[in-house]
């Protein structure tokens, strides 16, 4: 019995390590990573200071990047804004196949094409600075949405969602408002 338990534990550890390396189990590793073929950069984890510099470094070295895959629950608006500017400047597509919420959506909205899978979740709310609500008419928030061509009704809904809440609109609602440009089928995304 002890041998079976030991074998099970060894197999579990190996599967866990392999899964973490391949990205097949759970979320991708935190940080900024470029795919083996050099066509995709993944940004995963909280948008913390320094992430924007790391993103720029990876982007500068990856000359064939076509898309940025985002996986984040949010973070600093200033960091997301810097990443957004790099994405927009290079006219790169953005892609979400899991979750992108709060500040992450600023980076997502910069995509030339804004692509999601059928089960992706994008979460929106009014922003805060240093724990204080920025208010309904926050000009910086509005600018990011207006530049992306988002429908005013959608912007208004984001503006009334308090920072401590997150609104996850339906895919159809996001498509109608111009938030997303494409929804990939259940199978077959790149």
pLDDT in 10s for each residue of the chain, 190 residues: 544 433 333 333 333 333 333 333 456 678 999 999 999 999 999 999 999 999 999 999 998 999 999 999 999 989 999 999 999 999 999 999 999 999 999 999 999 999 999 899 999 998 876 666 666 556 777 788 999 999 999 999 998 899 889 999 999 999 999 999 999 986 554 5
State residue 143's pLDDT score.
86
Describe the crossing of helices 77-90 and 51-61 by its angle, rounded to 10 degrees: 20
State residue 68's pLDDT score.
98
Domains and CATH numbers, the chain: 29-184 (3.90.226.10)
Q: How many whole angstroms separate alpha carbon 60 and alpha carbon 181? A: 26
Instruction: Enumerate residues 6+ apart whose C-beta is below 8 A from 179.
Output: 109, 114, 122, 148, 150, 154, 169
Q: How many whole angstroms separate alpha carbon 139 and alpha carbon 152? A: 14
CB 177 within 8 A of CB 153: yes
* pTM, 2 dp: 0.81
Q: How many whole angstroms separate alpha carbon 69 and alpha carbon 41? A: 6
Q: What letter would DSSP give residue 184?
A: E
Instruction: Enumerate residues 6+ apart whose C-beta is below 8 A from 63.
Output: 38
């Amino acid at each position: 019995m002890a041998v079976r338990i030991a074998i099970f534990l060894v197999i579990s550890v190996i599967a866990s390590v392999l899964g973490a390396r391949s990205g097949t189990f759970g979320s991708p590793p935190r940080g900024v990573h470029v795919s083996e073929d050099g066509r995709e950069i993944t940004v995963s984890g909280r948008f913390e200071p320094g992430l924007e510099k790391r993103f720029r470094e990876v982007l500068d070295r990856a000359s064939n990047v076509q898309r940025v895959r985002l996986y984040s629950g949010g973070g600093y608006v200033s960091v997301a804004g810097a990443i957004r500017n790099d994405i927009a400047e290079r006219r790169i597509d953005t892609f979400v196949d899991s979750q992108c919420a709060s500040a992450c959506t600023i980076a997502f909205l910069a995509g030339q094409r804004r692509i999601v899978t059928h089960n992706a979740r994008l979460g929106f709310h009014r922003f805060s600075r240093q724990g204080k609500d920025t208010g309904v008419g926050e000009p910086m928030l509005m600018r990011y949405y207006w530049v992306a061509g988002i429908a005013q009704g959608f912007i208004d809904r984001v503006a009334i969602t308090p920072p401590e809440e997150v609104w996850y609109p339906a895919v159809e609602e996001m498509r109608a408002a111009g938030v997303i440009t494409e929804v990939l089928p259940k199978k077959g995304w790149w």
